[in-house]
């Protein structure tokens, strides 16, 4: 009995042996350096699903800017990721608070499109244009639906041009 | 004529310059070999091969002359600017606000109430200040009695929103199959869909509890709806429905946001009193759009 309790305590303290979470493996050059990438995502939070549109302007020199909208076009989140990896929340909403955007949306951007090495990218790359991000609080099923190659306007990557939520 | 070119290019075009005064060379400079503003210079865009301005050397002007020349340049620029503004103003649809919108709204409702259904193909343009070009998507909207609506995006992704008097459903097409979503906040989505149905049925008076309505008439008839709720207004400044002057068709819907961004839904093709095939509005397994389009096209 005592041995069982000790084993149980050990298991609790050390953690159960579970399968390690799979990480998204992406080739560094899998995203075009200068492009506008349109995405469609289904976000699952607490079993409920929400559809989102993402517009990512990617620049080889200035960073990346992602604008997330809902079905009818309202902007829910706007985040700028500088080449060094620093995230700037340019616009937030009632649906996505600044902290959430910084902590999760920017992190997911780094995982899927970023250049700096993001180590915590739980999920799978199902196809070259299809990703599944699986974090504790949510799941994001994301499809890249359109890529328009071309240099993006430099103003898009200006950190001073933030809008109030 | 719509002017979208930069002003520098517009000014440089002769078709916008006919009324501009030609600056005369100053008497003391007449005959000198330095480069001057002459008629040759002004007319360089219409000049023939033999009509070349002679540019010998740069002029050196006295300070007073510099001021006068800067003044002339400013006048030319202002005149050109005014001309452009006038052209734009002439081009913009001249709309006149209606003092009492009730009769027009009643007429709209009366016209639309005779319709049993409507089929609309649309292009949605999301105009964000940040992007040089609008973000476009395409789709189809279908409305049928009683209170059924199907809003389907067909490109660049595929998605169906369905609503009836009782419930709302959404389907996403991915990896070769349609998937029904477990919707978050279905009541909110249903409310939006209900409002869209009411708008397209001309039942705008039913929306007066949520919106302040005004009407302008002219080349088009525009019904402007401003949300009464401050929270809603912080996201949607106004919603405009642009109709044919005789209210026979909806041309576009514009959703304006407080910061200047907007969403424009342009209706390209409209068919009224259409008989939709069965399961068009089915919330379990909706009929595919290709079959619906074929049925709608065959019917007319």
pLDDT reported for residue B141: 95
Residues 6+ apart with CB under 8 A from B176: none
Statement to judge: residues B236 and B295 lie in one domain: yes
Chain B residues with CB-CB distance to A51 below 8 A: 159, 170, 172, 181
A–B CB contacts, 8 A cutoff, strictly below: 70
The answer to whether residue B2 sits within a structural domain is no
Greater model confidence, B267 or A163: B267
Chain B residues with CB-CB distance to A163 below 8 A: 259
| Residue B15 in contact with partner chain A when CB distance is under 8 A | no
| Residue B236 in contact with partner chain A when CB distance is under 8 A | yes
pLDDT reported for residue B73: 53
Chain A residues with CB-CB distance to B182 below 8 A: 44, 47-49
- 3-state SS of A96-145 is CCHHHHHHHHHHHHHHHHCCCCCCCCEEEEEECCEEEEECCCEEEEEEEE
pLDDT reported for residue B9: 33
Flag if A51 and B170 touch (Cβ within 8 Å). Answer: yes
Q: Which tens digits make up the pLDDT trace of B44-73?
A: 333 333 333 333 333 444 545 544 555 555
Please compute the mean of the pLDDT values over residues B198-219 and round it to a whole number: 85
Chain A residues with CB-CB distance to B261 below 8 A: 75
CATH label of the domain that carries residue B111: 2.50.20.10
Statement to judge: residues B84 and B148 lie in one domain: no
Statement to judge: residues B83 and B228 lie in one domain: no
Domain boundary among B27, B59, B91: B91
Nearest-Cα residue of chain B relative to residue A41 = B172
Output the CA–CA distances (angstroms, integers) from residue B21 to A42, A54, B83, B150, B235, in the order listed.
Answer: 61, 51, 13, 59, 48
Collect contacts of B272-280 with beta carbons under 8 A, ≥24 apart: B272/B115, B272/B117, B272/B118, B272/B119, B273/B115, B273/B116, B273/B117, B273/B118, B274/B117, B274/B118, B274/B119, B274/B142, B274/B299, B275/B117, B275/B299, B276/B117, B276/B119, B276/B142, B276/B144, B280/B142, B280/B144, B280/B150
Statement to judge: residues B183 and B289 lie in one domain: yes
Greater model confidence, B92 or B212: B212
Q: Which tens digits make up the pLDDT trace of A113-162?
A: 987 677 789 999 999 999 999 999 999 999 999 999 999 999 999 988 66
B216 vs A58: CA distance, rounded Å: 42
* Average per-residue pLDDT for chain A: 85
Considering only the beta carbons, identify the residue of A45, A57, A143 that sits closest to B157: A143
Please compute the mean of the pLDDT values over residues A70-74 and round it to a whole number: 84
pLDDT reported for residue B85: 42
Determine which of B66-75, B172-181, B251-260, B262-271 has the lowest per-residue pLDDT on average.
Answer: B66-75
Residue pair B196/B149 in contact by the 8 Å Cβ criterion: yes
The answer to whether residue B179 sits within a structural domain is yes
Chain A residues with CB-CB distance to B188 below 8 A: none
pLDDT reported for residue B187: 87
The answer to whether residue B44 sits within a structural domain is yes
pLDDT reported for residue B72: 55
Q: Work out the pLDDT band at B300, boundaries 50, 70, 90.
A: low
The answer to whether residue B174 sits within a structural domain is yes
Residue pair A65/A56 in contact by the 8 Å Cβ criterion: yes
Statement to judge: residues B283 and B186 lie in one domain: yes
Please compute the mean of the pLDDT values over residues B67-95 and round it to a whole number: 51
Determine which of A106-120, B124-138, B247-261 has the lowest per-residue pLDDT on average.
Answer: A106-120
Q: Which tens digits make up the pLDDT trace of B164-201?
A: 999 999 999 988 999 999 998 888 888 888 888 887 77
pLDDT reported for residue B113: 78
pLDDT reported for residue B227: 93
Statement to judge: residues B227 and B253 lie in one domain: yes
Domain boundary among B56, B73, B91: B91
A contact set with B (CB within 8 A):
36, 38, 40, 42, 44-45, 47-51, 55, 57, 65, 67, 69, 71-75, 126, 130, 141, 143, 145-146, 153, 155-156, 163
Residue pair B192/A72 in contact by the 8 Å Cβ criterion: yes
Q: Work out the pLDDT band at A41, boundaries 50, 70, 90.
A: very high
Statement to judge: residues B100 and B42 lie in one domain: no
pLDDT reported for residue B255: 93
Determine which of B31-40, B150-159, B248-257 has the lowest per-residue pLDDT on average.
Answer: B31-40
Statement to judge: residues B58 and B108 lie in one domain: no
pLDDT reported for residue B42: 33
Statement to judge: residues B11 and B160 lie in one domain: no
pLDDT reported for residue B192: 85
At B173 the three-state DSSP class reads: strand
DSSP state of B93: -
Flag if A74 and B236 touch (Cβ within 8 Å). Answer: yes
Statement to judge: residues B176 and B275 lie in one domain: yes
Angle formed at CA B252 by CA B248 and CA B189, multiple of 5 degrees = 110
* Number of structural domains chain B divides into: 2
Q: Work out the pLDDT band at B86, boundaries 50, 70, 90.
A: very low
B100 vs B106: CA distance, rounded Å: 11
The answer to whether residue B151 sits within a structural domain is yes
The ipTM estimated for the assembled molecules is 0.82
Parent domain of B245: 96-299
Work out the number of other CB atoms within 10 angstroms of the CB of residue A140. 23
pTM of the model: 0.72
Check whether B19 has a pLDDT greater than 80.
no
pLDDT reported for residue B276: 96
The answer to whether residue B205 sits within a structural domain is yes
Residue pair B118/B199 in contact by the 8 Å Cβ criterion: no
B214 vs B56: CA distance, rounded Å: 63
pLDDT reported for residue B49: 36
Flag if A156 and B174 touch (Cβ within 8 Å). Answer: no
- Residue-range domain boundaries for chain A: 26-152
pLDDT reported for residue A116: 65
Output the CA–CA distances (angstroms, integers) from residue B142 to A58, B6, B205, B296, in the order listed.
Answer: 36, 40, 21, 11
Statement to judge: residues B68 and B102 lie in one domain: no
Greater model confidence, A10 or B246: B246
Output the CA–CA distances (angstroms, integers) from residue B136 to A73, B165, B238, in the order listed.
Answer: 11, 30, 21
Statement to judge: residues B117 and B20 lie in one domain: no
């Amino acid at each position: 009995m005592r041995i069982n309790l000790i084993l149980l305590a050990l298991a609790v303290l050390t953690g159960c042996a579970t399968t390690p979470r799979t990480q998204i493996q992406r080739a560094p050059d899998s995203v075009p350096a200068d492009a506008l990438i349109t995405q469609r995502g289904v976000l699952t939070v607490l079993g409920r699903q929400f559809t989102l549109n993402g517009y990512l302007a990617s620049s080889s020199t200035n960073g990346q800017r992602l604008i997330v909208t809902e079905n009818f076009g309202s902007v829910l989140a706007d985040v700028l990721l500088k080449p060094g990896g620093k995230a700037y929340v340019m616009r937030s909403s009632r649906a996505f608070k600044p902290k959430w955007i910084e902590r999760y949306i920017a992190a997911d951007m780094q995982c899927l499109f970023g250049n700096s090495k993001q180590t915590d990218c739980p999920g799978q790359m199902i196809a070259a244009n299809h990703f599944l991000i699986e974090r504790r609080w949510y799941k994001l099923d994301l499809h890249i639906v359109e890529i328009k190659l071309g240099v993006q306007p430099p103003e898009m990557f200006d950190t001073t041009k933030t809008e109030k939520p | 004529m719509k002017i979208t070119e930069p002003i520098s290019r517009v000014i440089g075009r002769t078709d916008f310059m006919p009324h501009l005064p030609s600056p005369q060379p100053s008497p003391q400079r007449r005959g000198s070999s330095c480069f001057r503003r002459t008629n040759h210079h002004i007319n360089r865009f219409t000049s023939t091969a033999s009509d070349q301005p002679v540019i010998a050397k740069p002029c050196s002007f006295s300070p007073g002359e510099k001021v006068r020349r800067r003044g002339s340049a400013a006048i030319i620029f202002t005149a050109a600017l005014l001309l452009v503004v006038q052209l734009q103003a002439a081009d913009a649809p001249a709309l006149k606000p209606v003092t009492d919108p009730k009769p027009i709204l009643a007429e709209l409702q009366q016209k639309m109430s005779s319709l049993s259904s409507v089929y609309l193909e649309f292009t949605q343009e999301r105009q964000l200040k940040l992007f040089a070009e609008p973000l476009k998507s395409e789709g189809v909207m279908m409305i049928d009695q009683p209170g059924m609506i199907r809003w389907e995006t067909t490109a660049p992704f595929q998605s169906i929103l369905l609503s009836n008097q009782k419930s709302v459903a959404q389907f996403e097409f991915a990896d070769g199959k349609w998937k029904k979503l477990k919707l978050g906040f279905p009541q909110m989505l249903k409310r939006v869909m209900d409002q869209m149905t009411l708008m397209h049925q001309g039942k705008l008076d039913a929306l007066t509890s949520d919106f302040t309505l005004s009407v302008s008439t002219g080349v088009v008839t525009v019904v402007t709806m401003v949300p009464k709720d401050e929270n809603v207004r912080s996201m949607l400044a106004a919603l405009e429905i642009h109709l044919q002057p005789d209210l026979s068709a909806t041309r576009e819907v514009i959703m304006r946001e407080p910061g200047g961004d907007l969403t424009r839904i342009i209706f390209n093709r409209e068919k009224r009193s259409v008989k939709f095939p069965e399961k068009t509005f089915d919330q379990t397994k909706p009929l595919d759009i290709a079959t619906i389009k074929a049925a709608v096209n065959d019917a007319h």
